[in-house]
Amino acid sequence: MGSLTNKILISMPHMTDPYFSKAVVFICEHNKDGAMGMIINKQFKEPDLKELFEQLYIGDNTINSLVNDIFFGGPVLLERGIILHDSSYSSEGTIPISDKISMTSQQHVLKELQTKPDIRFKLMLGHSGWGQGQLEREIENGDWLMQTINSDFIFNVNAEQMWKQAIGSLGMDIGSAMGIGGRA
């Protein structure tokens, strides 16, 4: 299997893990040592984060204003923020993933991006990680489907519609895949 970097993983309907059920994961790095990605379709609900952000970023209205736009990237290092953004923006510490998508984990970047409405971005807390060979085994077990995407999918598709759209793009009938198909 070649590198899955810059592709998405779409969880199969049978996955019941609360983190990965109906998840769409953007793979940021994949090599012989393992993989790292971010769930791009699970948005935190505002009441859960508002109080936490007000405590962490006292008086920082720029960051506190983002509380409605924060995504759960995965269960690893949940306290760490990572910004997925359009590659037309770059700063010290920016890591290119493709020619259209980069990531940065520096707080000042978040403030800069808020002043640049033409640069699309998503703030993620945490990420998802797989050890050597782990992701390949999960794919072989039928837990994940792979798909190529473009940056518009990551930044412009409504998070609540991503999984259905991604799985539908592969021609899958979700009803029959979930065992709820019927007969007339």
pLDDT in tens, 6-20: 999 999 999 989 899
- Quick one: which of 60, 20, 38 has its CA closest to 143? 20
**Structural contact between residues 177 and 167, judged by C-beta atoms closer than 8 angstroms:** yes
> What is the model's pLDDT at position 149?
87
Residue 31: is its pLDDT beyond 90? yes
Residue 150: is its pLDDT beyond 80? yes
Q: β-strand 121-130 against 70-72: which pairing, if any?
A: parallel
**Structural contact between residues 146 and 8, judged by C-beta atoms closer than 8 angstroms:** yes
Residue 55: is its pLDDT beyond 60? no
Q: What does the alpha-carbon distance between residue 43 and residue 76 come to, in Å, rounded to a whole number?
A: 16
- pLDDT tens for 82-120 read 999 999 999 888 999 999 999 998 878 887 887 888 889
Architecture of domain 7-177: 3-Layer(aba) Sandwich (3.40)
Q: What is the DSSP string of 106-152?
A: -HHHHHHHHT-TTS-EEEEEEEEEE-TTHHHHHHHTTSEEEEE--HH
> What is the model's pLDDT at position 177?
46
Average pLDDT over residues 110-137: 90
- Quick one: which of 84, 80, 126 has its CA closest to 103? 84
Residue 183: is its pLDDT beyond 50? no
Average pLDDT over residues 24-50: 87
Taking only Cα atoms into account, the Rg of the chain, rounded to an integer number of angstroms, comes to 17
Q: What does the alpha-carbon distance between residue 170 and residue 141 come to, in Å, rounded to a whole number?
A: 18
Confidence band (pLDDT; 50, 70, 90) for 28? very high
Q: Estimate to the nearest angstrom the gap between the alpha carbon of 171 and the chain centroid.
A: 22
The mean pLDDT of the chain is 83
Residue 67: is its pLDDT beyond 90? no
Confidence band (pLDDT; 50, 70, 90) for 170? confident
Domain boundaries, the chain: 7-177
Q: Residue 61, Cβ neighbours under 10 Å: how many?
A: 7
Classify each residue of 121-144 as buried b or exposed e, where b means 16 or more C-beta atoms within 10 Å of its C-beta: bbbbbbbbbbeeeebeebeeeebb
Q: What is the DSSP letter of 43?
A: B
pTM, to two decimals:
0.84
